[in-house]
Amino acid sequence: MSEINETIQESIEQTEKGKLNAKVALFVAITATFMALCNVKDGNIVQAMSQAQARGIDAWSYFQAKSTKQSIAENSLQLLKAEKLAGSDTLIAKYEREITRYEKEKTEIKAQAIGYQKEYDDINEFDDQFDMTDALLTIAIAMFGITALTNKKWLLYFAAGTSLLGIILGLAAFMHISLHSDLVSKILG
């Protein structure tokens, strides 16, 4: 009779392990699929960040070129005024118009460059959020693996909670809802 009880008990334990491993497999599949989607979106965000950064650098370079041209015009104007040559009034007026034009253009270029930096910073916030999502989902998948090996239900709950937190963070990033944590970013950065 004890042999029959032992066989029944082993069968029950195997069924329990099978149910737990089936749950683990389901959670791993959901977590890994969402993680893949987040990685694709994060890749697109990184490309957009690179473009914004390149446009910002180009704008600041253009701003610097205009500043150099303005400086040359100002120096030329000072030389002309100092020499007081006959007929230099036309050149003086020309340089004064150029200086005014360069100043106006620089103001517009500076506003563009600042806009590109703001665009980069705004995009970066969601890049960080997707990075935190990726970290949480990776931890969850590792915990699911340990759960399958140890058959500990509490590990399943911990891994599922970590996965859920990662999914919430990722969904928020997809919907452009900032759940960005500067503290976590500083720790991970």
CA separation for the pair 94, 100 (Å, rounded) = 10
Q: Give the residue carrying structure tokens 């500043």.
A: 67
Q: What is the pLDDT of residues 117-167, one digit of tens each?
A: 999 998 888 899 999 999 999 999 999 999 999 999 999 999 999 999 999
**Comparison of pLDDT for 10 and 98, the residue scoring more:** 98
Are 166 and 137 contacting, i.e. CB atoms less than 8 angstroms apart? Answer: yes
Nearest by Cα to 173 from 141, 135, 125, 140: 125
**Comparison of pLDDT for 2 and 97, the residue scoring more:** 97
Nearest by Cα to 30 from 186, 181, 160: 160
Q: Is the pTM of this model over 0.85?
A: no
Strand stretches in 41-187, DSSP E: none
First to last CA, the chain: 63
- Give pairs for 143-152: CB < 8 Å, separation 24+: 144/24, 144/27, 144/28, 144/31, 145/28, 147/20, 147/24, 148/20, 148/21, 148/24, 148/25, 151/16, 151/17, 151/20
Q: What is the pLDDT of residues 8-26, one digit of tens each?
A: 566 556 666 778 888 999 9
Are 177 and 133 contacting, i.e. CB atoms less than 8 angstroms apart? Answer: no
What pLDDT score does 160 carry?
96
Query: What integer best gives the mean pLDDT of the chain?
Result: 88
Instruction: Report the amino acid identity of residue 26.
Output: L
